[in-house]
Structure 1
Amino acid sequence: MKVLVTGGAGFIGSHIVDQLLEAGHEPIVVDNLITGNERFLHGKVSFYRVDIRDEQVEDVFRQERPVAVIHQAAQSSVPVSVDEPVHDAEININGTIRLLEASRKFGVEKFIYASSAAVYGNPCYLPIDEAHPTQPLSPYGISKFTPEYYIKAFQELYGLSYTIFRYANVYGQRQMSTGEGAVIAIFLDRLLRGLPLRIDGDGEQTRDYIHVTDIAAANVSALTRADNQTLNIGTGISTSINKLVQLLGQLSNEPVTVSYGPPRAGDIKHSYFDIRAARQHLDFKPRIPLEQGLRQTADYLLQIKGI
């Protein structure tokens, strides 16, 4: 199957491209390389350096005629969304609409969209299921949630099948230590350079950490499953920051220096997913335990940094 992957040279997108190739599909990558890296792409992949906001993106659809679109490209920083909400909306909302319209024009059969746990806001209950109220707290959360309505409208109006994924905290190889939710990449980078770790708050705040290869597997599976479903993709396991630091210390076999500061304003204290719907509709099962994923990520950083 020919599959167009936006953001396909990025952290998550490049892993999706790798798994598409392994499964015998033909990925087409669209990426403006602002946060992506062309070195992450296999030589067999057709690559277009195009911004999803540009009219040029329609030319890619016209030339390639993809059967499916996996849409990963996004402005993913909460602070940037707060400082530049128009910029955030232009990419996350308008860019997605442009992709949907191109999909309609050129006969795309399936549209797979990367949404976020940020759409839920402060949890009313745990674990968070797909019926949980959506009350995003930032322009980023709003701009990731708004396209979900457009996607559902395109299904109703034009028959474009979709799967919407709301991701938990994704980590793994190729993640930048400057990205949103990149606490593992940040901590590992500092740990491997012998620097102390800083935790905002008491460290008892919890998140659901899922390895990027499990996220990629869910996207590839959705090409033929979970039509017109909105699904949480995580592990269903709650892990505190303090527990994370403990696991990282075991990896390094070195004492870890940690300082604690005041909690960040607006931070959510606890969050983890109910993934029963993903199991039901996608036959999804996360396969990389946190300890194994941390080891793989640390080994990758050691290799690329030459530490």
Structure 2
Amino acid sequence: MRTLVTGGAGFVGAHLVRALLDAGHTVAVLDDLSAGRAERVPAGVPLYQIPLEDRTAVDRVVAEARPQAVFHLAAQVDVQTALRDPLQDLAVNVTGTVNLLEACRKHGVERVIYASSAAVYGAPAALPLAEEAPCRPLSPYGASKLAAEGYLWAYGQSLGLTTTILRYANVYGPGQEARAEGGVVASFAARIVQGQPPRIFGSGHQTRDFIYVTDVARANLAALEGPGGLFNVGTGQEASIRELARLFLEEAGLAHLEPVFEAARPGEIERSALDPRRAQAQLGWTPQVDLREGVARTLAWARAGSPMEADALCRLAGGRPR
């Protein structure tokens, strides 16, 4: 199948591109490289370096690539950036999504699979969160992802596209950078390979549902073959930030170090976990990499110099030697 991956030079996108190629699909990538890296894109895969906000350019890429399916991962993903500049967050995550959907409708794309976020739920009343839980986002980022979901639903209901929304829990693993895609795992890995203690914002008792990046790539492939709809992509399990720090220090042989605590950051929830049972039932997808193994693989990647070249990155993510 001919596929287009927006954000395919980004953290999750790079692993998805490799998974699609391994499954025999043809892949093209659209990425403005504001956070992505060209070296993450495998040799021979076309890379269109354009922003989603450029409607004309997006239309041109979809017309040229002629994808049958589009995986829409490109986004402004940082909560703190969205708080500082919500209009830019809106431009990328909402207007950019509509630009892409319009191009897909115009050029006969059959299916769009959208990478959404647990941030759309806001503060949970009960955990793990099922897809029917109310959505009350606490940040402009969560609001923009939820608004984009609404457009996916509308295009799916009235304009002939098959649309799938995947709400990711906290994705982590090799290739994630503290400077770009953010994430507490990336931050811990960067500090620990330098012999520095992990830095925790807030009490550390806040929890997240950490899902390994290759499991997320597998969920996207499952969505390509499955029915449209809305699916959580998570483990259903909470892990505290303190527990994550302990795992990192144990795996690194630095259990004597103590985390450094700093003030909590605004716009972030206290607890999160996503119920994956719908994806298991309808897509046949289950996560395979537990948190300790994922931390070990992430540390191995960081210790190898944090390579971004596509082949080395994906080998290390798979737990295979470089």
Q: Smaller-chain TM-score range?
A: over 0.9
* Larger CA deviation: 206-215 vs 170-179: 170-179
Match of 2:46 in 1: 46
Distance 1:133 1:272 in 2: 14
Asked whether the equivalents of residues 166 and 232 of structure 2 are also in contact (C-alpha less than 8 Å), the reply is yes
Match of 1:185 in 2: 186
What TM-score do the two structures reach when normalised by structure 1?
Answer: 0.96
Asked whether the equivalents of residues 247 and 292 of structure 2 are also in contact (C-alpha less than 8 Å), the reply is yes
Give the CA deviation at 1:181: 5.6
Correspondence 1:194-213 to 2 at 5 A: 194-213=195-214
Give the CA deviation at 1:57: 1.4
**Are 1:36 and 2:60 matched, yes or no?**
no
Give the CA deviation at 1:302: 1.0
- The Cα offsets for residues 16-66 of structure 1, whole Å up to 9 and x where unpaired, read as 000000000001100111110111111121111111111111111111210
* Larger CA deviation: 216-225 vs 260-269: 260-269
Match of 1:119 in 2: 120
* Secondary structure class of the residue paired with 2:29: strand
Distance 1:240 1:205 in 2: 6
* Secondary structure class of the residue paired with 2:305: helix
Match of 1:15 in 2: 15
Asked whether the equivalents of residues 8 and 73 of structure 2 are also in contact (C-alpha less than 8 Å), the reply is yes
Give the CA deviation at 1:261: 3.4
Asked whether the equivalents of residues 78 and 180 of structure 1 are also in contact (C-alpha less than 8 Å), the reply is no
What is the percentage of aligned positions where both structures have the same residue?
43
Give the CA deviation at 1:263: 3.3
Report the AA paired with residue 64 of structure 1. A
Asked whether the equivalents of residues 176 and 182 of structure 2 are also in contact (C-alpha less than 8 Å), the reply is no
Match of 1:75 in 2: 76
- The Cα offsets for residues 130-153 of structure 1, whole Å up to 9 and x where unpaired, read as 011100111101110101111111
Distance 2:264 2:38 in 1: 37
* Secondary structure class of the residue paired with 1:156: helix
Distance 2:70 2:60 in 1: 15
Match of 1:260 in 2: 261
Report the AA paired with residue 230 of structure 1. L
Asked whether the equivalents of residues 191 and 256 of structure 1 are also in contact (C-alpha less than 8 Å), the reply is no
Match of 1:62 in 2: 63
Please, which runs of 5 or more residues in structure 2 have no aligned partner?
A: 308-322
Distance 1:114 1:177 in 2: 20
- After superposition, the Cα gap between the structure-2 partners of 1:266 and 1:10, relative to the gap in structure 1 and judged at 3 Å, is closer
Asked whether the equivalents of residues 7 and 13 of structure 1 are also in contact (C-alpha less than 8 Å), the reply is yes
- The Cα offsets for residues 84-115 of structure 1, whole Å up to 9 and x where unpaired, read as 11111000000000000000000000000011
- The Cα offsets for residues 233-263 of structure 1, whole Å up to 9 and x where unpaired, read as 0111111111111111111112222123343
Asked whether the equivalents of residues 170 and 181 of structure 1 are also in contact (C-alpha less than 8 Å), the reply is no
Correspondence 1:283-294 to 2 at 5 A: 283-294=284-295
Match of 2:313 in 1: none
Correspondence 1:109-258 to 2 at 5 A: 109-179=110-180, 182-227=183-228, 229-254=229-254, 255-258=256-259
Distance 2:237 2:146 in 1: 24
* Secondary structure class of the residue paired with 2:200: strand
Report the AA paired with residue 212 of structure 1. V
Asked whether the equivalents of residues 76 and 179 of structure 1 are also in contact (C-alpha less than 8 Å), the reply is no
**Are 1:299 and 2:297 matched, yes or no?**
no
Report the AA paired with residue 125 of structure 2. C
Distance 1:223 1:305 in 2: 30
Return structure 1 stretches of 4+ with deviation > 2 angstroms.
178-181, 259-267
* Larger CA deviation: 158-167 vs 192-201: 192-201
Please, which runs of 5 or more residues in structure 1 have no aligned partner?
A: none
* Secondary structure class of the residue paired with 1:93: helix
- The Cα offsets for residues 158-179 of structure 1, whole Å up to 9 and x where unpaired, read as 1100110111000001101135
Give the CA deviation at 1:290: 0.9
